[in-house]
Structure 1
Amino acid sequence: MPTIPGSLRASAGRLPGAPALTFGGVRYTYRELDQEVDRMANALLRSGLRRGDRLALMAANSDLFVIVFYAALRAGAIFVPVNPASAPPELAYILTDSGATTLVFDAELSDIVDVARSGDSGGVRFFALGQVAGYDDLRHLAADAPASPPLIVVEEDDDSLILYTSGTTGRPKGALFDHHRSVWVGVVVAAASGMRSAERFLHVAPLYHAGELCIMLITGTMLAAHHVVHSGFDAREVLDTMEAEGISMFFGVPTMYQAFLSDPGLRARDLSRWRVGMFGSAPMPGAVVEQLLAVLPGVELIQFMGQTEGGPGGVYSTPEQVRARPDACARQALPFTEARVVDAADRDVQPGEIGELVLRGETVMKGYWHQPGETERTLRDGWLHTGDLVKVDHDGYLTVVDRLKDMIISGGRNVYSVEVENALAAHPHVLDCAVIGRPHPYFGESIVAVVVPRDGTTITLDGIKAHCRKLVASYKVPHDLLLRQAIPRNPSGKVLKHVLRDGMRPGTAPKSL
């Protein structure tokens, strides 16, 4: 039966000498990677990990991230990725909420782990990926372990992943998946993107995030792809690697693609082997898509729109559809997935109307880890209610207009923040922006534009209002302006609107920096 570590074993058996993983100067064939995973899995089992235990990994992108991921699953554990930028309370929350018995962490993060560990009751085993005083080095334990298959049978219906939601509205929830669902993500993505055997992937987006982990790593390993891993994002270094390694497929958030466009030598680079560029996790302005199509005519752009709870899965646009409607977010459901846009009574909305996107398919989560109430509210009658408000255009394309919790009701009328954000983004002096609501005694909520100006420019509220009146209805024009040096975003590029709202007390005017 198919499982995530089983797909690695199958690729190693089929193409043992094929390149599997490159990180810095370290390279592995599929046979070598499979053996390293066996060693790591045996080391973890020797150290007390048991089938069904939760193993948390707090690490940046690296070859060791990939090895620990597959090893944990091969040992029968449930894998829990943790953002390496987490503060000690955030780490402690995930360890407690997931009931993790093991934490593996980058040596550079030991100070954070020390603080989080101080409140641990002794139920978690801690292992460093490197030499840290007071912690076992998991690399050394693995080097002494046998490269033979562990005596653990992993089944398709065993739980595989707890992926914590991005927490854009508060504390994250753990979305639970089994191997069946995770493998189906690979099937769905391969069918939608046209992935081929032995593709060359570049992993730059964080592997602890569902997009990179499931869409790229799991799917690519199923097809014996060559995974080239970067520990972070620097546009010039990424483009250098794309040239040197002949990268054929890339997944990135919109801000990464916008950084590519800022590279003055982009047109002169040899990116002829770059076939497919996938993007998602946050809306991409239509103007940016048009620039990418012009500057990178040989790259087929595919847009995904989904969420962690979907696998991640949801809806998408093919390269032809991206070219036809660069301003839209998607055209149809991913393969083997059903998608609808419904009103508050779960009735399909008509073209031109706005409703909530709901999904059904093999990749949708089992539920939230130990949160039956939240699971019942989100999974209703077999459908995943995403909380994303989308407009169904008359030609069938979908456009995200807001999150249910982020919709602004001003003067009794619904204002969808994405629509106003798109208008703001078209201002030549706006580098980044977000739109939120603030309690107002007359309107109910006022519309606040949070703007990061481009260097050397000046932005005023009057100027913003004049600009927006040309693009949106008058009742959607921002009432207030807040200038910021940066917009708070999570690692997948989504704006943390609850952070912006928390910084604005009711009854006070926003202050410019």
Structure 2
Amino acid sequence: MYLTQGLQRALQQTPERIVTICGERRRTFGEFGERVARLAAALQGLGMQAGDRVSMLAMNSDRYVEYMYGTWWGGGVLNPVNIRWAVAEIVYSLDDCDTRLLLVDDHFLPLVEGIRSTARHAPVFIYAGDGQAPQGMLDYETLLAEATPVADAGRGGQDLACIMYTGGTTGFPKGVMQTHLNLWSACVQRMAEINQGRDQRDLHVMPLFHIAGLARLVCSIMVGSTQVILPAFDPAQVLRTLEQEQVTDTVLVPTMILGLLAHPDFSRRDLSRFKRLTYGASPSVGAMIEQVVAKLPHLQLAHSYGLTEACPIVSTNPPQNHSPEARKNGLAGSVGRSGLGVLVKIVDEQGDEVPRGTVGEVIVRGPNIMQGYWNKPEETARALRDGWLHTGDGGYMDAQGYLFIVDRLKDMIVSGGENVYSAEVENVVARHPAVAMCAVIGIPHPQWGEAVHAVVVCNPGVKSSEDEIRAHCREYIASYKCPKTVEFRDALPLTGAGKVLKRDLREPFWVNNR
């Protein structure tokens, strides 16, 4: 079980099939395989050895796919960089797992000097853009042209494939360690639930530094299909691409879907070839489902629930559970049942399974579950107990094994498909000299699903402002994590043990949104 196997198979069976479409560039599996083998050689020539980490800071592109497979082909490990991070967050992820090679495209050239000057070990920078390589950077295309293709290193199974950094509940990102077996298993699980084949055309607009986008692409390459790649989500461009490239499949978050449905170009595009849409990452999607069914009645809908630590799928709610009957009886509100090879339980605080219909913590085990968190043995021990991943999500299971998520026990905020951990934001807000106490919660937002909201108690005799707190946060964390709104109070509601009652803070905002 190695992640380059799908490419090897396609090179043997369908070398002339188009594998990537990115703007005007179209590459066959044969061309793609040649470039992957050359990139692997170039990375090895720059010092990459088996198990070494390689990063990329870039928008989606065909070169991003080459980075993924070239690193694996050469025996390396991916460390994709979140494109919305500030320089300090990027440097932390590079330093934490000793990443010495970093590919950067045109969009992120302004960040290079900041990374170079603050990283513990400045990485070798490789320019993966469309212009001329800036001074101090190696040129991607030149490296490929001068390299001699190497054989596949053949790493697989329990060998590390990726380190995917997520928001950290302790204020620092955590590197989720995923093996070839983890990702391979997750792909097979998905294919067992949702039919995939060579003839489909997948549109990739979810960012490839996210596990949802990365795993979906790996799954599609595994079956030998064609990948249509857009740099980022733009409703008009997505609608145009769906029609022009005759896309059959894609995965989107609800905010993206609603943006497509509301766009003036929607009714002008022929979407008859668009067959399957997978969605996820939203607290509530009932109204969205009804809109999709009304406007695209031929479309097959599927919902996936998961997390980075599960690579990412835990359960899938297939198209048949989006029928009129399923929408009436509430089954469409489920996140489905556990996938092939995956076990799910709902447990209480002692780890004992609770009766069906009772809310508890969702725990998961299976071959898709991560190895642990890089360099964080204590956090790994808390998350992985007796072979089970403790997700921190609250939910219940019905008599047929359907899973319903009711809360996020870790206080994670999902804003526009991005995960924001409240503790990370709170740690930054608390650094402001005016702040005595603070709590960060998610509140309803019509476009993003949830928005980050900070409740602040200032030090006695000291005042601050919303603009001041937000400007302070922008110095330390990505803009999507920064509070969109700030509320000042004299005190926070506390439990007897002195913990903030975030439930009481959230309740007024959500009471009319359930």
Normalized against structure 1, the TM-score is what?
A: 0.79
Separation of aligned partners in 1, 2:282 and 2:142? 40
Matched, 1:360 2:365: yes
Count of residues in Structure 1 that have an aligned counterpart in Structure 2 = 443
> 1:348 corresponds to which residue?
353
Task: Give the residue type in structure 2 aligned to 1:172.
Answer: P
User: Structure 1 residue 499: deviation in Å?
Assistant: 4.7
**1:175-234 CA-partner distances (Å, limit 9, x unpaired):** 1111111111211111111111231000001011100101x2100001111000000111
Distance 2:300 2:362 in 1: 26
Task: Say which is worse superposed, 6-15 or 161-170, in terms of deviation.
Answer: 161-170
2:241 is matched by which residue type in structure 1?
A: T
| Unmatched tracts of structure 1, length 5 or more | 408-416, 422-433, 439-444, 455-482, 488-494
What SS class does the counterpart of residue 118 from structure 1 fall into?
Answer: helix
Q: Is the contact made by 2:55 and 2:79 (CA closer than 8 Å) also made in structure 1?
A: yes
**Partner in structure 2 of residue 386 of structure 1:** 391
Letter in 1 for 2:366: G
Q: Tell me what 1:13 maps to.
A: 12
Contact 1:280 1:305 in 2 (8 A): yes
Q: Is the 8 A contact 1:169 1:498 kept in 2?
A: no
Kept after mapping to 2: 8 A contact 1:107/1:129: yes
8 Å contact kept, 2:115–2:122: no
Alpha carbons 1:169, 1:497 under 8 Å: kept: no
2: CA distance, partners of 1:299 / 1:372: 44
Q: Residue 57 of structure 1 contacts residue 105 of structure 1 at CA under 8 Å; is this kept in 2?
A: yes
Q: What's the CA shift for 1:508?
A: 6.1
* Correspondence for 1:258: 258
Give 1:480's aligned residue.
none
User: RMSD across aligned C-alpha pairs, in angstroms?
Assistant: 3.3
TM superposition shift of 1:498:
7.5
Q: Say if 2:2 and 2:154, in contact at 8 Å, map to a contact too.
A: no
- Closer, same or farther in 2 for the Cα pair 1:19/1:168, shift >3 Å? farther
Q: Could you tell me which residue of structure 1 aligns to residue 42 of structure 2?
A: 43
8 A contact 1:357–1:389 mirrored in 2: yes
In 1: Cα distance, 2:440 partner to 2:42 partner = 55
- TM-score, L = length of structure 2: 0.79
CA distance in 2, matches of 1:315, 1:383: 15
1:200 matched to 2:201: yes
Given residue 299 of structure 1, which amino acid in structure 2 is its aligned partner?
L
Gap runs ≥5 in structure 2: 427-437, 448-465, 471-477, 493-504, 506-514
Aligned to 2:501: none
4+ residue segments displaced more than 6 Å: 445-449, 495-498
**Change beyond 3 A, Cα 1:502–1:389:** farther
What does 1:12-161 align with in structure 2 at a 5 Å threshold?
12-122=11-121, 124-130=123-129, 131-146=133-148, 148-150=149-151, 152-161=153-162
Matched residue of 1:405: which SS?
Answer: coil
For residue 282 of structure 1, give the secondary structure of its aligned residue in structure 2: coil
Alpha carbons 1:55, 1:79 under 8 Å: kept: yes
Q: Does the 8 Å contact 1:210/1:311 carry over to 2?
A: yes
Q: What is the deviation of 1:153?
A: 3.9
Q: 8 Å contact 1:316–1:333 — kept in the other structure?
A: yes
For residues 99 and 502 of structure 1, the distance between their equivalents in structure 2, rounded to whole angstroms, comes to: 36
* Residues 169, 496 of structure 1: 8 Å contact kept: no
Structure 1 83/446 Cα, relative in aligned 2: closer, same or farther at 3 Å?
closer
Residues 455-470 of structure 1: matches in 2 within 5 Å? Answer: none
| Per-residue deviation, residues 38-87 of structure 1 (Å, max 9, x unmatched) | 11111111122111111111111011101111101111011110012321
Cα distance, 1:505 vs structure 2: 5.7
**Structure 2: how far apart are the matches of 1:447 and 1:138?**
42
Write the distance in 2 (CA, Å) between the matches of 1:120 and 1:397: 46
Provide the residue aligned with 1:371 in structure 2. 376
Q: Shift in Å at residue 394 of structure 1?
A: 6.1
Report the CA distance between 1:382 and its aligned residue: 0.8
> Could you tell me how far 1:397 is from its partner in structure 2?
3.8
| 201-210 or 103-112, larger mean C-alpha shift | 103-112
Q: What pairs with 1:316-331 in structure 2 (closer than 5 Å)?
A: 316-323=316-323, 324=326, 325=330, 328-331=333-336
